[in-house]
């Protein structure tokens, strides 16, 4: 399918440390093992060819794919990659901000006094409480390979304070609870730019007069997959010193921490606060790093502190190096009670809850759909005390919502990137329309998910027993009611489907009507449904998405949108015959705004 039907002529690479074979992988078409140094190729691949387990043509094919790719990206022209750069242009930021806002999904928007809670009517508000563990410092991105270092991150609390102050609205804040399993990364806004000095030998760090071989910009979290000094040896020794001036914004007992692959020390004003040399590996950096070590330090707000982290890297089995610096400000004893008091004195409570990369990261799985920590209790109690309660969910995957009927509005913000604060504020104030629709079904409980009875498997083996019935296909086929269905999402405008008809064999024309005084957006979805279901037990889905289109409709106006259909609308892949085959029996096309909100049905043959 990849090379033939799709005509793909690029390279196939493994996930980092995702390759676990020599013979099977090269035969299956994996061109490159990542990262280096290789664990399953090199001399092992040579031996497999020499003893006849791998054909020489398989190696030639992979090598040719690599050469073609290197030529395509200009590697033979200059021989080396260019310097890493960061673009921070205003035009780019505007695009990032608009994309973040338009991807957010409005899940609930009740009326209070006959008026929807969102967007906020600032003329009727004097004080807004911004509450929650992700309010002051939100989660802009996922963990692991999803983690990058943006030029800056806009957080919800900062953005709300600045934007609402211009309208004479006061913003008050309470964290509500702490959900971190480990310390949050050192906040760049509290530091001078971090400097990284590199030395050829780890012990050079003991000599304060030693001159670094190379210096560059650093970050609170650094991972080295190759030698930062760019020497020929793929996994050499080196020393690294990260240094910055840290100025706390709150007085009290701070917690400082380090996680690292190699022995590492953290120094504060020249004094060693942490030294993890004696800790064993396990728990960070894909299992190769040492667990987090923390220490308390009494710090004064506004006073600059010299903070240094020294890493003594020596070769590891996987060639990885890395360090993460954490910092947590002082925490009050009863955060939930404090949040309730804060919300009671406000006109509106905006609770920013969710997860972070302690909970959502490659390398481990969440064990529950529940929001971590005391967040559910926080929402219950704030909703009971607040005049109006808006919940913003800052998470990368579905969460349970036992409090759903007790709050007035729910906005799924996901992990929206560096402009998250501004984008969330844009949506809450109505400067941007929430245009997102759920790309996954949100289950009411973990037991309702299609993988529940198969995960985590037995004896180290997890069978994907759900077959093709994953996501909405499972819920729609077995009749299980999700909390929110696939494709669902509300808007500030009420744009409805008023009609649908076949335009051509491969498209559907859908009529839309905006029944509100505000310009709006609708995402029309078309599902193909088999009316003559196969025998019980088959994993043929009852219906599946075959086309969708987004349309903008002016206030009070009508519009039409054409939805192009998948050319294999009624086909499924046959595992026995290795080809696409048309399903037997009758089909119909269902036109709607989610997998469960169907407005029109059309026969299809």
Indicate which residues carry an active-site annotation. Answer: 15
- What DSSP element (H or E) covers 165? helix 156-165
Count Cα atoms within 13 angstroms, Cβ side, for 112: 19
Quick one: 107 exposed, middle or buried, by C-beta within 10 A (0-12, 13-18, 19+)?
buried
CA atoms of 381 and 339, how far apart (whole Å):
9
Place of tokens 């780890």: 202
Quick one: 93 exposed, middle or buried, by C-beta within 10 A (0-12, 13-18, 19+)?
middle
CA atoms of 194 and 175, how far apart (whole Å):
27
CA atoms of 65 and 488, how far apart (whole Å):
42
Q: CA gyration radius for the chain?
A: 27
Q: Torsion angle, CA of 297/301/306/308, rounded to 10 degrees?
A: 50
CA atoms of 544 and 474, how far apart (whole Å):
10
DSSP state of 417: -
- What DSSP element (H or E) covers 475? helix 472-478
Count Cα atoms within 13 angstroms, Cβ side, for 457: 8
Nearest CA-CA partner of 366 in 325, 342, 400, 389: 400
CA atoms of 530 and 217, how far apart (whole Å):
58
First to last CA, the chain: 27
- Residues 6 or more apart in contact with residue 291 via CB below 8 angstroms: 259, 279, 282, 283, 284
CA atoms of 449 and 446, how far apart (whole Å):
6
Cβ pair 517, 555 in contact under 8 A: yes
CA atoms of 91 and 389, how far apart (whole Å):
34
CA atoms of 396 and 361, how far apart (whole Å):
10
CA atoms of 336 and 25, how far apart (whole Å):
52
Cβ pair 117, 110 in contact under 8 A: yes
Instruction: State whether residue 58 is helix, strand or coil.
Output: helix
Instruction: State whether residue 380 is helix, strand or coil.
Output: helix
Q: What does the block give as tokens for 70?
A: 């290197």
Query: Vertex 581, ends 576 and 583: CA angle to 5°?
Result: 115
Nearest CA-CA partner of 382 in 373, 390, 370, 392: 390
Cβ pair 420, 99 in contact under 8 A: no
CA atoms of 354 and 339, how far apart (whole Å):
16
The Cα-based distances of 379 to 317, 393, 397, 502 in angstroms read 46, 11, 19, 47
Cβ pair 165, 425 in contact under 8 A: no
Q: Beta strands of 376-494 (E only): which ranges?
A: 389-394, 409-412
């Amino acid at each position: 399918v990849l090379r033939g039907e799709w005509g793909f002529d690029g390279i196939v690479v493994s996930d980092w440390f995702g390759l676990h074979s020599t013979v099977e992988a090269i035969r299956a078409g994996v061109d490159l093992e990542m990262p280096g140094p290789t664990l399953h190729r090199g001399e092992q691949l040579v031996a497999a060819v020499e003893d006849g387990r791998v054909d020489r043509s398989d190696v030639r094919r992979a090598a040719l794919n690599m050469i073609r790719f290197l030529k395509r990206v200009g590697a033979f022209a200059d021989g080396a990659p260019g310097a890493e750069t960061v673009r921070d242009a205003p035009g780019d930021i505007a695009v990032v901000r608009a994309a973040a806002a338009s991807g957010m999904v409005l899940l609930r928007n009740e009326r209070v006094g006959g008026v929807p809670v969102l967007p906020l009517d600032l003329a009727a508000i004097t004080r807004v409480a911004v509450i929650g563990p992700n309010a002051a410092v939100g989660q802009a991105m996922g963990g692991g390979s999803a983690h990058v270092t943006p030029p800056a991150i806009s957080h919800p609390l900062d953005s709300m304070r600045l934007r609402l102050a211009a309208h004479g609205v006061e913003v008050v804040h309470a964290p509500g609870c702490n959900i971190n399993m480990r310390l949050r990364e050192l906040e760049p806004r509290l530091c001078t730019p971090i400097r990284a000095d590199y030395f050829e030998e780890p012990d050079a760090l003991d000599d304060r007069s030693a001159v670094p071989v190379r210096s560059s910009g650093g970050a609170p979290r650094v991972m080295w997959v190759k030698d930062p000094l760019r020497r020929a040896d793929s996994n050499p020794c080196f020393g690294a010193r990260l240094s910055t001036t840290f100025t706390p914004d709150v007085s009290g007992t701070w917690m400082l921490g380090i996680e690292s692959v190699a022995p590492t020390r953290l120094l504060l004003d020249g004094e060693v606060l942490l030294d993890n040399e004696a800790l064993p590996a396990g728990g960070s950096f894909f299992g190769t790093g040492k667990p987090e070590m923390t220490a308390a330090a009494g710090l004064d707000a506004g006073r600059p502190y010299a903070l240094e982290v020294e890493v003594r890297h020596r070769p590891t089995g996987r060639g990885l190096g890395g360090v993460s610096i954490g910092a947590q400000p002082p925490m009050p004893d009863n955060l939930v009670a404090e949040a309730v008091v804060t919300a009671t004195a406000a006109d509106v409570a905006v609770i920013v809850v969710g997860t972070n990369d302690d909970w959502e990261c490659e390398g481990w799985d969440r064990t529950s759909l529940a929001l971590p920590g005391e967040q559910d209790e926080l929402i219950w109690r704030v909703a009971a005390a607040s005049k109006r309660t808006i919940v913003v969910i800052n998470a990368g995957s579905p969460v349970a919502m036992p409090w759903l009927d007790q709050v007035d509005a729910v906005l799924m913000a996901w992990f929206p990137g560096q402009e998250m604060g501004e984008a969330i504020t844009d949506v809450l104030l109505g400067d941007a329309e929430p245009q997102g629709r759920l790309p996954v079904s949100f289950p009411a409980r973990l037991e309702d998910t299609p993988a529940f009875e198969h995960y985590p498997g037995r004896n180290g083996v997890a069978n994907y027993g759900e077959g093709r019935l994953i996501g909405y296909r499972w819920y729609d086929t077995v009749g299980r009611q999700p909390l929110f269905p696939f494709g669902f999402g509300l808007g500030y405008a009420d744009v409805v489907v008023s009609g649908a008809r076949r335009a051509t064999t491969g498209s559907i024309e859908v009529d839309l009507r905006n029944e509100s005084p505000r310009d709006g957006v609708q995402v029309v979805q078309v599902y193909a449904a088999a009316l003559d279901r196969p025998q019980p037990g088959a994993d043929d889905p009852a219906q599946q998405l075959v086309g969708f289109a987004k349309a903008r409709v002016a206030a009070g106006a009508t519009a039409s949108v054409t939805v192009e259909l998948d050319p294999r609308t009624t086909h499924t892949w046959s595992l026995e015959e290795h080809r696409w085959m048309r399903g037997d029996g009758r089909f119909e096309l269902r036109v709607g705004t989610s997998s469960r909100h169907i407005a029109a049905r059309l026969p299809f043959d």
